Amino acid sequence: MTISITLLGTGCPSACPERRGAAQLIRTPQRAVLVDCGSGVTQQLVAAGCPGAELDALLITHYHTDHLIDLYQLIISSWHQGRAKPWIIHAPLSAHAHINAQMEAWRDEREWRIAFEKRPNSARGLEIELHELGPGPLELGGDLQVEAVPVDHRSVEPAFGFLFVAGPCRILLSGDTAPCRNLVEAARGADLLVHEVFIHRAMKVVEGLRSQETIDAVAAYHTLSSDVGAIAAEAGVKALALTHFVPPVFDKADLLAEIRRSYDGPVLIGEDLMRFELPARQVHWDRFSAAF
């Protein structure tokens, strides 16, 4: 039994050429699941060797633009790749009206494509089956077990992280959250915790762009770099990988040193297209591979 998680996008709403929008790919021998569809996800899936046509399900952590913005591009591109089955989408109810509105806004364009392009794959690949995401297990079938974990991203409610289990291997993905007891309990003893991080020292007041009030407000619903190591330590996870960096440009050595003050396990600074494999405990990125 094997499971991998690929960080398709490790950025945040601030555009950064090196970091695409929030998205993660989870793969087992029988399942391929996408979590969130931030900017650039369609291209990143192809780069990761799993085009959207091959996905079994899409999970949306919460209703924020940077986690949902490329949904329609993903649907259209995947149909061009030969997708012939509907999209299974699990999303919080707060996102349903937006998702349905996107599909309706582009309905005439889909109809034109179907009629004119005469593709041999079924137009079913352009349909969605939208399910309300709530706390607890999800029925995705195959060899992957998934549990939605409520997290604290208020004022955005609800918001979820996910626990992925394949055989003895456990990966906890935080989603966007402030420090949260639910997440700590779900992550206990996990092989890998993939956690967002707000690097507060790197966020500076910029006149006309962000005030101290802005910084404090954004920090309030994320996890500070001074706290994330303690969360990993309390949960007793075997390794910690960081993603969804706010801001997307920062001093990596400084961040790593800060985390190590409270967590003595392996710490990995996530990069776009970085892949973690269990139970082999291997990390792959670009031409680099190593144990963690």
User: Could you state, in order of their start, the residue ranges of all structural domains in the chain?
Assistant: 3-291
Q: Alpha carbon of 81 to those of 86, 108, 120, 130, 144: distances in Å?
A: 14, 21, 11, 22, 24
- pTM of the prediction? 0.96
Answer yes or no: are the C-beta atoms of 57 and 156 closer than 8 Å.
Answer: no
* For range 255-269, the mean pLDDT: 97
pLDDT of residue 122: 85
* Domain 3-291: CATH architecture, name and number where available: 4-Layer Sandwich (3.60)
Report residue 228's pLDDT band, with 50, 70 and 90 as the boundaries.
Answer: very high
Out of 66-75, 94-103, 146-155, 214-223, least confident range: 214-223
Q: What is the mean pLDDT of residues 209-223?
A: 92
Res 69: pLDDT: 97
Strand 169-173 and strand 160-166: pairing? antiparallel
Q: Which of 227, 221, 254, 251 is nearest to 240 (CA)?
A: 227
pLDDT at 142 over 90: yes
pLDDT at 48 over 90: yes
What pLDDT is recorded for position 121?
A: 84
| Centroid of chain to Cα 162 | 9
At residue 208, the pLDDT reads: 87
Residue 73 pLDDT = 97
pLDDT over 90 at 115, yes or no = yes
